[in-house]
Structure 1
């Protein structure tokens, strides 16, 4: 039997023994009665027991200790009311919406398996009992896409999650894109954070002892433990991952100043929605924001295409004016001829084999499997369950199911008392409930990893859950938070509903009922909100934004809209007949633009898919559904991006850059 298997049996049996005794127990009691400890020397027992206790507490098992006031011995207890999942009053719609969450994220969410296990426990923990886990009808009109998600990324997230839970120092080679430098980093990882559709690991860089953010997709090697110790560090008590979220692109790093930017009145509501938070505020029509990079803030202002005017500092205004001037010059006359495409660097033939996604702790899987087997017995002594059902519900490979059952058969309460005997007979699992079986009939509380999986899922597709459940997201979230147990979740960001929740609710109703919907929408290049009457067909979650794909009735053409730019959505009484053969996808009649990027910004664009050229520049072909959007994008590069073709788009950028340069040079009262 392997070391890990021995440990699992010890830990499960320790939990079983403490639950069965229902009284404070000494270490001597535990050593004498718990499977796996009896044959150990006192020294080995002390070492193993300390390690097992620490791991169980980290898994969310509320194992308490206190000293006996007379003997001075340490006494250990595990109260069942703190171990089991509290009664959960999720109604059928709310549970169905949570199952929809798993359906939407399957295959594109690294935490899908811990999420599946958490939902399995939540279903068992309801006072109304479990229900069918089919997704809601809402799910059929939604697509989730994560451009940053790859098999390599999910493997790295899995390794980092393991290092964070075990508090192990890790090493990896990392590409710092700003310096274009690759070197080995050694960090104590504190948390994983999805921000604007990109995953970051936040931790202490041991080279300079500072806490930094590392983009996971820029890790260039296998992630390995730096030592052989069971634990290398403890997360500082003052660390809170929420302090690292909600940063605008110009706020990564140490803040060095505050800027004031005048925004158009019809744009102010959008700025407040998109950039609300501790680092930003809206003072009437003036956007006040802290910055770490003045250059990146200037890029954002230029992207607004006249809807934002810098007031102070003066250096920011100069950067914006100079940027518009550089764009105008770059689009004057004939376009430059790009260099030849660079050949891809040859590899040494060693290819990193992607690791699997984040896996639930095996202890948690066995806990949940035991509860499910005993719940199937109910008040009877035995039950028969299809093996395929267990493999599917708990993501256990069919060839590994028998091993899992054998481990549960060894879990005992001391004195030869067991919880269950389960045996695989062909395609069925025969379950016999033992003497202490009813002790574990209820599902356990969620582990910290399962709780993180739910929180992250709420972050990704929370508004869809609210729409499917017909319940405000904060109500669903509040019910779930009660199930997370006594552990702290400072390493997991608190989900934020945002304004999209009500918009998704209105849009899904209109899609389901085939009703027209009126949108109040702010186009990227416009200073005024316009009204659109559309036939809604589908919703897409393309991180970090939500989109709705529609047929615009007034323009008689397909259009896609970003939800964060909608001020309001109102379902109309008029019903529409879905258009036969219409595929509601974005950019149906897009124009392809060839864009050249200078060597100063090329590596960022190559990371997004552009082709590297031999002189260090880059070339990209981009599908453009809105010429106005492209103008804002090119302006934001401050002359480091040039449209090569088509000629009409190139001319449009040149004209708008000249207009903006003139507008920004005019004096503005601060």
Structure 2
């Protein structure tokens, strides 16, 4: 917690104290920890956790909900479709409309403050996805070379800064504040990889950019939360992958309290926000395994080398089971953007690979009852039981649920 969220709060002993603007999002984060984070106060947070667990338990007990029919695609099914991109085209239509709205809100001025609720309702953006939409807009909104807009969620409001471009392009290279913020976002995504390849700490990469383009003006943009420990792990695995060296890691599996040591052959690193993963062949299990870097305490390169296994391409979840998950109306649109199939009643259905039941439990708890596992039945039962147990573990079992 300190490594990833330390800048968002402070520790008082073992208690993490942080400000928050959305109690539901904070409850989601607590539930995803599956017992490793206990809500102490305020009461509205504890009650939100209790209500979420009750909803998860209810929707995973007994028979699952009946499914509506799948919506009929409007395009010709015989036409060969282009592969899906990392961002669905519909998202860009929303971003284009959002950009026009933010520019209109600024008017002739250089900035504006807009209620977050206004954007959520006007553009049908789920509250938990508003910040993601704004960050994506910050990276792609150069508006034909005329405008740049930087939008930032601040509590219940969105602050918008607008800049006009013109003679700026004819000046010596120098970053504007908005360009600097865009680079800050890029460093969040790929900075550790750049630093590892250059054998240079991330702060030195940043200083080199400052020497080239001028000092970053980033008073409104927080430092990337990639910690020095995670940066070092990325560098370690980058070196090991390049030199084909075995790595000994100390790892804490999700749902467990103890650390275990593994000897792995690292093959590739992958960024799955907000975490880094390394895909490996685990020599102790003789199987493919993927590990999150934020769950590692240490990684040490050994003197032993390895030869790439013929035909082995790590996929992260090669031997996974498949779970069928129904997303309810409040989050169905978000699920469809990530590959779920829309149904006629406004819900969405997805099939997802499950490498471990513990991971699925945390994922379903995160959605606070708005994601429902339909099958396999043993996973439905496990989630219902865990929701009931967790209410006791987190000390919220006796709280009354609001009617």
Q: Deviations over 1:357-405 (max 9, x none)?
A: 778999xxxxxxxxxxxxxxxxxxxxxxxxxxxxxxxxxxxxxxxxxxx
Q: Distance in 1 between matches of 2:184 and 2:397?
A: 48
Worse-matched range after superposition: 304-313 or 330-339: 330-339
Number of equivalenced pairs? 314
Aligned to 1:561: 291
Q: Distance in 1 between matches of 2:181 and 2:25?
A: 32
Query: Unaligned regions of 5+ residues in structure 1, if any?
Result: 1-270, 363-410, 412-442
Q: Distance in 1 between matches of 2:269 and 2:216?
A: 36
Contact 1:515 1:571 in 2 (8 A): yes
Query: Unaligned regions of 5+ residues in structure 2, if any?
Result: 76-89, 97-138, 146-169, 399-403
Query: Structure 2 length normalisation: TM-score?
Result: 0.68
Give runs of ≥4 in structure 1 deviating > 6 Å. 351-362
| 1:571 corresponds to 2:301 | yes
Local SS of the residue matching 2:6: coil
In the TM superposition, 1:603-622 aligns within 5 A as: 603-622=333-352
**1:482 aligned to 190, 207, 211, which one?**
211
Q: Distance in 2 between matches of 1:486 and 1:553?
A: 47
Q: Distance in 2 between matches of 1:535 and 1:525?
A: 24
Query: Structure 1 length normalisation: TM-score?
Result: 0.43
Q: Distance in 1 between matches of 2:144 and 2:70?
A: 47
Contact 1:593 1:646 in 2 (8 A): yes
Contact 1:360 1:450 in 2 (8 A): no
Note the C-alpha offset of 1:560.
1.0
Note the C-alpha offset of 1:602.
2.5
- Bigger relative CO (Cα 8 Å, ≥ 6 apart): 2
Q: Distance in 2 between matches of 1:302 and 1:316?
A: 11
Aligned to 1:459: 188
Note the C-alpha offset of 1:319.
2.3
Aligned to 1:637: 367
In the TM superposition, 1:582-597 aligns within 5 A as: 582-597=312-327
Q: Distance in 2 between matches of 1:286 and 1:299?
A: 18
Q: Are the structure 2 counterparts of residues 602 and 576 from structure 1 closer, same or farther at C-alpha, using a change threshold of 3 Å?
A: same
Q: Distance in 2 between matches of 1:488 and 1:598?
A: 42
Q: Are the structure 2 counterparts of residues 652 and 611 from structure 1 closer, same or farther at C-alpha, using a change threshold of 3 Å?
A: same
Local SS of the residue matching 1:595: strand
Aligned to 1:313: 42
Note the C-alpha offset of 1:455.
4.4
In the TM superposition, 1:163-182 aligns within 5 A as: none
Q: Are the structure 2 counterparts of residues 601 and 553 from structure 1 closer, same or farther at C-alpha, using a change threshold of 3 Å?
A: same
Q: Distance in 2 between matches of 1:466 and 1:516?
A: 21
Q: Are the structure 2 counterparts of residues 361 and 617 from structure 1 closer, same or farther at C-alpha, using a change threshold of 3 Å?
A: closer
In the TM superposition, 1:389-408 aligns within 5 A as: none
Aligned to 2:15: 286
Aligned to 1:334: 63
| 1:523 corresponds to 2:253 | yes
Contact 1:473 1:497 in 2 (8 A): no
| 1:471 corresponds to 2:200 | yes
Local SS of the residue matching 2:19: strand
Contact 2:46 2:396 in 1 (8 A): no
Note the C-alpha offset of 1:479.
2.8
Larger Rg: 1
Contact 1:328 1:653 in 2 (8 A): yes
Contact 1:552 1:559 in 2 (8 A): yes
Contact 2:59 2:369 in 1 (8 A): yes
Q: Distance in 1 between matches of 2:317 and 2:222?
A: 34
Q: Distance in 2 between matches of 1:335 and 1:546?
A: 34
In the TM superposition, 1:187-206 aligns within 5 A as: none
Aligned to 1:366: none
Note the C-alpha offset of 1:635.
1.8
Contact 1:451 1:484 in 2 (8 A): no
Aligned to 2:331: 601
**2:358 aligned to 628, 632, 636, which one?**
628
In the TM superposition, 1:155-304 aligns within 5 A as: 271-277=1-7, 279-304=8-33
**1:581 aligned to 311, 324, 340, which one?**
311
Note the C-alpha offset of 1:628.
0.8
Contact 1:321 1:665 in 2 (8 A): no
In the TM superposition, 1:425-444 aligns within 5 A as: 444=172
Q: Are the structure 2 counterparts of residues 345 and 583 from structure 1 closer, same or farther at C-alpha, using a change threshold of 3 Å?
A: closer
Aligned to 1:510: 240
Q: Distance in 1 between matches of 2:332 and 2:240?
A: 43
